[in-house]
C-alpha cells in the first residue's frame, strides 16, 4: 500500500452533517435507526451519530486500500479506537464496519478474510445484523478516498515532516495531486511550503544554539545559501524555488486540462433544455481561464528574482573574517571552476584576493631602547 494512504487526511474528508450520510445511502439510514434504538434502550454510546459514522466510514475506506488489513487492525486501528471509545462503543463501531463492508457486491479479495476476523471477535453483536445484510446487499455506497479540506488539516511541523518524508520533492508532488481542484492543490501546496519554512527555521535555530562560539564551515554557517554545493545528499529535499516551480506545474496542468476540455457539440443551436446549462458552462470556463491567467502572471512576478550571481558569491566571501581564510580559499576554487570563461577582469582581481586577509597575531614589545648600527634612536623592533 502507498505509504501516503496511512495518513488519514490524505484519504478521508470528514463529513460535517449527519444528513450527508442519510441522503447518500439507505445503508447509513438504517444504521442510524439502529443507533437511535440503542440510545433509547439506555446504551451508553460515547460518540454522536456523526462522529461514529465518520469513524466507521474512514475505517472502511482505509481497509479497502490495505492489502493486509489485519496488521493495520491489530497495530493501529484496534488500540486507537479502544482507547478513545471504550469497550462497548468499540464493538459497535467494528460491527458497523462489518455491516458496511459486507454489503459490497464485489469487494477486494482481502476483505472477506478480514470480515471473518471481525466476526470472530464481535459475532454476538454482528448476529443482530442478519436481516440488514439481506436487505442492503449491493446497496450504493461511496467509499472512494477523498482528501480532507486543506484548511482542516492540522498545522504541525513534525507531522508534515513525517508525512512528506522530510519534505521530499516527489512525495510532496504526490500529496498535492491527491486533491481534485486547482484551488485545493494551490492551497495545500502553500500549507506545505509554510510548514517547510518553519522546519528550516527550527533547524537553523537548533544549529546556532548547538554550535554557538565554534568556527563553522560555510555549509554550516549558511545552509540555504550554499545548499546545492554542500548538501548533495539532500538534493531531493524541497527548497523555496521548488515550491514556486510546483505552483507553476499546478497551474500549467490546470490550463492544459481546461484547453483540452471538449466544447459543446453544437454551441450555436443547443437543445432547448440544455441551452442554459451550456451557457453557464461557457461562462465558468471563461472565468476559470481568467483566474488561471491571473495566477500565472502572479507567479511569474514572484519568480522574477534571479539566482545568486557570481558577484553575490564574491561579495559574500569578501565579508568572511581572516579566521575563515581556508573556507574562502575553498569557495574561491569553486567559483573559478563553476564560472570558468564567464569571469570579467575585475571579478578575476577580486577573486584573486579571496582568502588572503592578514590574520592578527600577538605583539611582543621591547621597553628598552634599541639603536641600529648608526645609533638611530628612532628604530623600534617587535615580533608578531
Q: Is the pLDDT at 137 greater than 50, yes or no? A: yes
Question: What confidence tens digit (pLDDT) does each residue in 27-49 have?
Answer: 999 999 999 999 998 888 999 99
Question: What confidence tens digit (pLDDT) does each residue in 244-266 have?
Answer: 999 999 988 888 877 776 655 44
Q: Is the pLDDT at 380 greater than 60, yes or no? A: no
pTM over 0.85: no
What's the first-to-final CA gap in the chain, in angstroms? 69
C-alpha–C-alpha distance, residues 10 and 256, integer Å: 25
Question: What confidence tens digit (pLDDT) does each residue in 333-353 have?
Answer: 778 877 777 888 888 889 888
HSE-up (13 A, CA, CB side) for residue 278? 14
Indicate the range of 41-55, 113-127, 222-236 predicted with least confidence: 222-236
**Using CB atoms within 10 A of its CB, is residue 212 exposed (0-12), middle (13-18) or buried (19+)?**
exposed
Element (DSSP H or E) covering residue 92: helix 78-102
Amino acid at each position: 500500500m502507498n505509504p501516503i494512504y496511512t495518513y488519514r487526511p490524505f484519504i478521508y474528508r470528514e463529513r460535517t452533517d449527519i444528513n450527508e450520510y442519510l441522503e447518500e445511502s439507505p445503508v447509513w439510514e438504517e444504521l442510524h435507526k439502529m443507533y437511535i434504538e440503542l440510545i433509547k434502550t439506555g446504551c451508553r454510546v460515547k460518540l454522536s451519530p456523526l462522529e461514529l459514522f465518520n469513524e466507521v466510514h474512514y475505517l472502511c475506506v482505509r481497509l479497502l486500500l490495505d492489502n493486509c488489513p489485519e496488521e493495520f487492525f491489530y497495530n493501529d486501528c484496534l488500540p486507537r479506537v479502544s482507547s478513545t471509545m471504550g469497550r462497548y462503543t468499540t464493538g459497535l463501531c467494528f460491527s458497523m464496519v462489518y455491516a458496511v463492508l459486507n454489503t459490497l457486491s464485489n469487494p477486494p479479495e482481502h476483505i472477506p478474510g478480514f470480515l471473518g476476523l471481525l466476526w470472530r471477535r464481535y459475532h454476538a453483536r454482528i448476529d443482530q445484523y442478519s436481516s440488514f445484510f439481506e436487505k442492503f446487499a449491493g446497496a450504493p455506497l461511496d467509499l472512494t478516498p477523498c482528501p480532507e479540506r486543506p484548511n482542516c488539516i492540522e498545522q504541525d511541523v513534525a507531522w508534515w515532516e513525517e508525512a512528506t518524508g522530510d519534505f521530499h520533492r516527489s512525495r510532496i508532488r504526490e500529496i498535492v495531486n491527491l486533491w481534485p481542484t486547482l484551488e485545493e492543490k494551490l492551497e495545500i501546496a502553500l500549507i506545505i511550503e509554510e510548514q517547510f519554512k518553519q522546519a528550516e527555521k527550527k533547524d537553523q535555530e537548533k544549529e546556532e544554539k548547538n554550535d554557538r562560539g565554534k568556527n563553522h564551515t560555510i555549509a554550516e554557517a549558511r545552509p540555504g545559501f550554499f545548499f546545492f554545493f554542500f548538501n548533495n545528499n539532500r538534493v531531493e529535499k524541497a527548497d523555496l524555488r521548488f515550491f514556486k516551480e510546483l505552483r507553476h506545474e499546478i497551474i500549467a496542468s490546470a490550463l492544459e486540462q481546461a484547453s483540452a476540455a471538449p466544447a459543446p457539440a453544437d454551441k450555436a443551436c443547443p437543445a432547448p433544455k440544455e441551452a442554459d446549462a451550456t451557457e453557464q458552462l461557457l461562462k465558468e470556463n471563461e472565468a476559470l481561464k481568467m483566474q488561471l491567467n491571473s495566477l500565472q502572471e502572479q507567479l511569474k512576478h514572484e519568480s522574477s528574482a534571479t539566482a545568486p550571481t557570481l558577484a553575490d558569491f564574491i561579495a559574500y566571501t569578501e565579508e568572511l573574517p581572516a579566521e575563515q581564510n581556508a573556507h574562502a580559499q575553498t569557495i574561491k576554487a569553486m567559483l573559478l571552476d563553476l564560472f570558468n570563461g564567464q569571469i570579467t577582469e575585475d571579478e578575476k582581481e577580486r577573486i584573486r584576493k579571496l582568502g588572503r586577509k592578514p590574520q592578527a597575531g600577538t605583539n611582543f614589545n621591547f621597553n628598552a631602547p634599541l639603536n641600529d648600527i648608526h645609533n638611530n634612536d628612532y628604530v623600534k623592533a617587535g615580533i608578531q
